Amino acid sequence: QITLKESGPTLVKPTQTLTLTCTFSGFSLYTSGVGVGWIRQPPGKALEWLALIYWNDDKRYSPSLKSRLTITKDTSKNQVVLTMTNMDPVDTATYYCAHKLWFGESDYGMDVWGQGTTVTVSS
Amino acid sequence: DIVMTQTPLSLSVTPGQPASISCKSSQSLLHSDGKTSLYWYLQKPGQSPQLLIYELSSRFSGVPDRFSGSGSGTDFTLKISRVEAEDVGVYYCMQGLHHAWTFGQGTKVEIK
């Protein structure tokens, strides 16, 4: 059974750097075709993809946020970390991590999501 | 960025009746391998999104067969053949071409 759980601060001040950790079980980032992505959702608004890291350390970022984001993995710890610099109140959102699977001839997309963690940006 | 546009933004459906949601992309989602990089998610109230459909029309494990995905190129549709009370929530389409994912605005489905 695949599970993911996000953790990090619930409140950050404007201009600070946010660091979020996704801790997962039921799969390994040593496995070909596997990735972990980050998606956020401001209150009452739509989903926005942020970043994704693959088993081979290939990293992808949202073009509009690329300059502020860094995604890394610690395969031995089953963790993926997302950092976002220069936080602003508009970055207030629930942040989700999700398992991504590309297996055989099928790309399942982000098929299992964590419960999300709420981050508020305020002074 | 590829822009995804959903219509309608809200839908009220009588249980047992069909429902349909449209999603249009700003460019073709047909990959060079012949697959279409289009996904559908349902976010039930207070929950994380759950995958319904992957690669245009394949139902994810455990998804009831009343859900179906179709379309081609830039025009896509999610159909629910007979809406049930448990189908309420916000439906999102998502594209994944070129390893850069974007979501539609969401369509809120409620029961009459």
**Which of B48, B96, B99 is the closest to A113 by Cβ?**
B48
Question: Mean pLDDT, to the nearest integer, of B48-57?
Answer: 98
Q: Which residues of chain A have pLDDT under 70?
A: none
State the DSSP H helix or E strand holding residue B13, giving kind and residue range, or none if neither. Answer: strand B10-13
The answer on pLDDT for B46 being more than 90 is: yes
Residue B74 binned pLDDT confidence (cut-offs 50, 70, 90): very high
pLDDT the model gives residue A104: 83
Contact residues of B toward A, CB < 8 A: 1, 33, 35, 37, 39, 41, 43, 48-51, 54-55, 58, 60, 92, 94, 96, 99-106
Is residue A56 within 8 angstroms of chain B, CB to CB? Answer: no
Is residue A107 within 8 angstroms of chain B, CB to CB? Answer: yes
**Which of B54, B94, B100 is the closest to A63 by Cβ?**
B100
- Which value, to the nearest 10 degrees, does the dihedral of the CA atoms of residues B93, A59, A86, A63 take? -50
Residue B27 binned pLDDT confidence (cut-offs 50, 70, 90): very high
- β-pair partners for A72: A81
pLDDT the model gives residue B99: 83
Residue B98 binned pLDDT confidence (cut-offs 50, 70, 90): confident
Per-residue model confidence as pLDDT tens digits over A28-57:
999 999 999 999 999 999 999 999 999 999
The answer on pLDDT for B84 being more than 90 is: yes
The mean predicted confidence, pLDDT, of chain B is: 96
AA identity, residue A52: L
